[in-house]
Structure 1
Amino acid sequence: MQPILPGAPWLIAHRSMLGVNRPHKITLNGRDYVIWQNQKGEVSALDNICPHMQAPLSDGWICQERNTITCPFHALEFDSKGRLERGDKEDTQPITQPLEIIVKNDCVWTYAGFEPRLPIPELHQKIVDEYELLGVTGEKSIQGSFLSNLMVNYDYNHQNGTHKELFRITSCHVSSFEKNGYYTKIQQELTRADNTFTEIIKNPVLGIFPKNLSNTLEYAFPSTTVFFAKTPIGDIAQTHLLYPETENRTKTFILMYVKVNNPVMKFLFKNSVLQAGARVIEQDTGAVESLYPREKPKIRLPNEEIMFYAEELYHDW
């Protein structure tokens, strides 16, 4: 396939998603890779194909002593540079291609071998400087193009329908829209219906959101959408990531960050906040996967310029 947005930085994993000494398969722009983390926290990545008989290395295992990955067919070992392990004899040339990665603030980034066209977004540094990670949620492969998923993330209006019942939304309004190259920021005002006790029992996250919410959404094209919300128990930074697996399949997951004064409240609401994030992904997935082939819109909604600005950045890449 033709690579989508070559030279863009892609956040492909968080350390907490990898475990220790466990092969983890990812697909990026139509190519499969195996990624793993050793007990020292060092992260390595290679082409997922064994150069002997093309077995998937992600089905193999990690040799802890040598930090090598072992092919499941014939137990051939490869180090983090793609060199065949031969015991006492040292191979100097890789025979399977390593994937160059950058680990920053526990996030694993890659340019997938292309010359960088954008830096890793400063937005992520801003988040880790002020918030702590609550967890990862909503990891999913969506059957839909990267552009379709991108435009859903930039389309704040879909909350009026797609997420209406989940958060009991009655109105959604954008009061400001700022754009600065590949960075975009909007200020959003949400109004929610009153929640019944039964609704809060079923969806505890409703109990921490006020009736009127003033939220900020910040976008770092093309991978990152961050939803900043203030609640009575603390602040949330829901960091929504995308990267293209294939032409018609897009990977997504959420890094949920929080800033709370009372750790007890963090403990009490952790699961419900993560579950709400996963439910957002499920609803977005349903929206994307049910779309008919795209035609030119015959209706325009208020403040859709942010969505079409993202589309313009995509096509002008």
Structure 2
Amino acid sequence: MHPVLPGAPWLIAHKSMLSVNRPHKITLNGRDYVLWKNSKGEVFALDNTCPHMQAPLSEGWVCAERNTITCPFHALEFDGEGRLYRDRKPSAEALAHSLELNLVGDCVWTYGGCESRLPIPDVIERRSQGFRFVGMTGHQSVWGDFLSNLLISYDYNHFKGTHRELFKIQAIEIHNYEANDYKIKLDQKIIRQRNSSQELLINPLLGIFPQIYLNRFEYSFPSLVTLIGEFPVGKVLQVLVIYPETENRTKTFTLVYAQSNPILLAVLKKFLLRSVAELVRQDIVAVENLYPRQPPKIKLPDEEIMFYAEKLYRNWR
């Protein structure tokens, strides 16, 4: 397939998603790769196809002693540069294709073999200062093209429908909208109903949501949406990540950070991750049930944010 937005940086993993010395398969722009992390926290990536008889390397195993990935078919070993490891030494030339990675903190970025057109955004490192990493959630493949998934992440009006029951949303207001090239910032004010005692029993996390609260969004086109929610007991930072797997499939996952009392955070951690996962699930259901896109005949408030993102996508060369 022709790469989606060639030259854009893609966040393909967080180190917490990679077990030490265990293969991890990802798909980016129609190509499969195998990633692995060693005990030092270093991360490597190769084309998932063994150059011998095309077996999937991700079905093999990692040799910790030599830091090699082993083919499951004939036990051939390749190092992080794609060189065949034989007779206790690597070959002179790479036989398997390596994928260039850029590690920023615990985040694993790549340009997918394309020449860089945008710098890797610093928004995660900048906005997570003073926050604790809670975990990753909502890691799923979505049956939908990348543009459809991109647009729903910029669509504020769908909160009133798609997420209405989850957060008891009555109204949403957008303030301080600012678009600057491939970055967008804005504040989202949410007005909600009170939760019933039964709803709070099922998910105690809802008890920290006041009737009116503020989310501060920052977008880094095309792959990241970050928001900081401010609550009486602290702050929560969510980083929604998307990248194109194939023409009709998009990968998504969310990194969650928090700034709160450690004891309270330990109690609410699983509910926090579960709530974010449910938010992602609802968006996935919405995208996967869309009919083929047609020009809209209705205009809603604040849709210029979504159409700005679509313009960036359409004008990419």
TM-score bracket for the superposition, by shorter chain length: over 0.9
Distance in 2 (CA, whole Å) between partners of 1:88 and 1:225 is 46
Q: 2:169 — aligned with what?
A: 169
Partner of 1:54: 54
Is the 8 Å Cα contact of residues 173 and 189 (structure 1) preserved in structure 2?
A: yes
Deviates more, 1:183-192 or 1:124-133: 124-133
Q: Secondary structure at the match of 1:310?
A: helix
* Contact residue 105 and residue 128 of structure 1 kept, 8 A: no
1:302 pairs with 2:309: no
Amino acid at match of 1:231: F
Partners of 1:87 and 1:39 lie apart in 2 by 24
Is 2:17 the partner of 1:17?
yes
Shift of 1:158: 0.6
Q: 8 Å contact 2:128–2:237 — kept in the other structure?
A: no
SS at match of 1:75: coil
Q: State the percentage of identical aligned residues.
A: 56
Stretches of structure 1 that go unaligned for 5 or more consecutive residues are: none
Q: Secondary structure at the match of 2:16?
A: helix
Q: Does 1:267 align with 2:254?
A: no
Q: Could you list the per-position Cα deviations for residues 16-69 of structure 1 after superposition, in whole angstroms to 9, with x for gaps in the alignment?
A: 000100100000000000000011111000000000110000000000100000
**Equivalent-residue separation in structure 2 for 1:54 and 1:90 (angstroms):** 20
Preserved CA contact (<8 Å) 2:79 2:90: no
**Letter paired with 2:87:** G
Residue correspondence of structure 1 range 139-158 to structure 2 within 5 A: 139-158=139-158
| TM-score, reference length from structure 1 | 0.98
What is the correspondence of 1:209-288 to structure 2 with a 5 Å cutoff?
Answer: 209-260=209-260, 262-288=261-287
Q: Which amino acid aligns with 2:256?
A: M
Change beyond 3 A, Cα 1:11–1:89: closer
Matched, 1:121 2:96: no
CA distance in 1, matches of 2:50, 2:128: 37
**In 2, Cα distance between equivalents of 1:123 and 1:89:** 41
Residue type matched to 2:308 in 1? Y
Match of 2:108 in 1: 108
Task: Say whether the 8 Å CA contact 2:13–2:109 is kept in structure 1.
Answer: yes
Length, aligned pairs only: 316
| Deviations, residues 83-103 of structure 1 (Å, cap 9, x unaligned) | 000123541110111000011
One-letter amino acid of the structure 1 residue matched with residue 269 of structure 2: K
What does the per-residue CA deviation read over 1:140-196, in whole Å, with 9 as the maximum and x for residues that have no partner? 000000000000000011100011111111111112310000000111110110111
Letter of the 2:303 counterpart: E
CA distance in 2 between counterparts of 1:14 and 1:122 reads: 15
The two structures have a TM-score, normalised by structure 2, of 0.98
Matches within 5 A, 1:19-38: 19-38=19-38
The 8 Å contact of residues 101 and 110 in structure 1, kept in 2 or not, is answered as: yes
Aligned equivalents of 2:129, 2:201: Cα separation in 1? 33
CA gap of 1:94–1:198, structure 2 versus 1, over 3 A, is: same
Measure, in 1, the Cα distance between the counterparts of 2:88 and 2:232. 61
Partner in structure 2 of residue 44 of structure 1: 44
Task: Tell me the SS of whatever aligns to 1:171.
Answer: strand
Match of 1:315 in 2: 314
- Secondary structure of the residue that 1:84 maps to in structure 2? strand
Q: Distance between the aligned counterparts of 1:241 and 1:74, measured in 2? A: 36
Q: CA deviation at 1:128?
A: 3.0
Whether contact under 8 Å (2:68, 2:77) holds in the other structure is: yes
Aligned to 1:291: 290
Match for residue 83 of structure 1? 83
State the secondary structure of the residue aligned to 1:114. coil
Larger mean CA deviation between 66-75 and 192-201 belongs to 192-201
Provide Cα deviations, 1:224-246, integer angstroms capped at 9, x if missing partner. Answer: 00121011221011110000000
Amino acid at match of 1:274: L
- Which secondary structure state, in structure 1, belongs to the residue aligned with residue 129 of structure 2? helix
Report the counterpart of residue 182 of structure 2 in structure 1: 182
